[in-house]
């Protein structure tokens, strides 16, 4: 059962940034695994037709019978789409390329922006006793991402420590504002996390300084270093936390999970 004294249980966080390759999927998988390691029950919703979160967690395309496509567009029980993964406490709703047509199919649906919101609030969600739901968004501000923003309590934005990192943020913030005005007034920004950070590189330091100057407290103290073990882990169908448990990447995602939990405890108090 979810805890009635905690208003946001499970806490739903959309991991979004319309730029591709900034670390959305990597952050979803590894933050999810780190929260699960802390004992929280976590569900990852793969909302990207590329299905990288599903592959990265070892759910092969042949094992994805029911997916986020059916969750959004068909009347299906959560129990039929939620799959367990090799990581204890971590489950997944997988995605396949089928989802790429959903964006267009959703258009004609009257409730098009609310489908994920409603699907994740089916009454049987309580039986999974989840603490967190992390949604891995596609690299676009399309209707799928809007569904994630309408369903979520907050948005977590991975920012790649590269030139032009901050450039797309105003567009993202504009979409968040629109969603607040039309569908989800309580939508918050969970935070911005710097990814693929290279402390020896002036550019990384510059991006970090810019982000902290412009966004202040929204930027997590923890930064995720560029670490080859992080990029290898998906080809072993594992989070870096289990693939190389003491790597710098694993330590950073654990620290990020702790910072996020601490922030949320403060908000709830």
Interface residues with ligand ADP (CB under 6 A) are 20-26, 52, 139, 195-196, 224, 226-227, 230-231, 249
* Contacted by 231, from Mg ion, ligand ADP, none: CB < 5 to 8 Å by type: ligand ADP
* Contacted by 20, from Mg ion, ligand ADP, none: CB < 5 to 8 Å by type: ligand ADP
CB of 47 to ligand ADP, least distance (A): 11
Strand order in the sheet with 11-15: 83-84, 90-93, 42-46, 132-136, 11-15, 154-160, 188-195
Q: Which residue has the tokens 């998988």?
A: 29
Contact by Cβ (8 Å): 156, 186: no
CB of 50 to ligand ADP, least distance (A): 8
Contact by Cβ (8 Å): 94, 58: no
78 vs 207, which CB is nearer to ligand ADP?
207
CB of 93 to Mg ion, least distance (A): 15
CB of 6 to Mg ion, least distance (A): 29
Tokens of 223: 């930064």
Contact by Cβ (8 Å): 169, 185: no
97 vs 129, which CB is nearer to Mg ion?
97
Distance CA 144, CA 99 (A): 9
57 vs 230, which CB is nearer to ligand ADP?
230
């Amino acid at each position: 059962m979810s805890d009635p004294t905690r208003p946001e249980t499970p806490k739903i966080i959309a991991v979004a940034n319309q730029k591709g390759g900034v670390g959305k999927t990597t952050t979803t998988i590894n933050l999810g695994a780190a929260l699960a390691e802390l004992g929280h029950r976590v569900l990852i919703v793969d909302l990207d037709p590329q299905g990288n979160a599903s592959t990265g967690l070892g759910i092969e395309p042949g094992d994805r019978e029911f997916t986020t496509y059916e969750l959004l567009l068909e009347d299906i029980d959560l129990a039929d789409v939620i799959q367990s993964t090799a990581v204890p406490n971590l489950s997944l709703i997988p995605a396949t390329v089928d989802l790429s047509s959903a964006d267009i199919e959703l258009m004609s649906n009257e409730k098009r922006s609310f489908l994920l919101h409603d699907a994740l609030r089916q009454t049987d969600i309580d039986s999974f006793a989840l603490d967190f739901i992390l949604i891995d968004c596609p690299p676009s501000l399309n209707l799928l991402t809007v569904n994630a923003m309408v369903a979520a309590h907050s948005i977590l934005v991975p920012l790649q420590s590269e030139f032009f990192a901050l450039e797309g943020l105003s567009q993202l913030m504009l979409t968040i504002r629109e969603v607040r005005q039309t569908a989800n007034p309580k939508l918050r920004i969970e935070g911005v996390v710097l990814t693929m950070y290279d402390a020896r590189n002036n550019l990384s330091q510059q991006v970090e300084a810019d982000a902290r100057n412009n966004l202040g407290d929204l930027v997590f103290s923890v930064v995720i270093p560029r670490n080859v073990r992080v990029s290898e882990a998906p080809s072993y169908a594992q989070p870096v936390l289990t693939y190389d448990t003491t790597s710098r990447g694993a330590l950073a995602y654990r620290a990020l999970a702790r910072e996020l939990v601490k922030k949320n405890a403060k908000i709830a108090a």
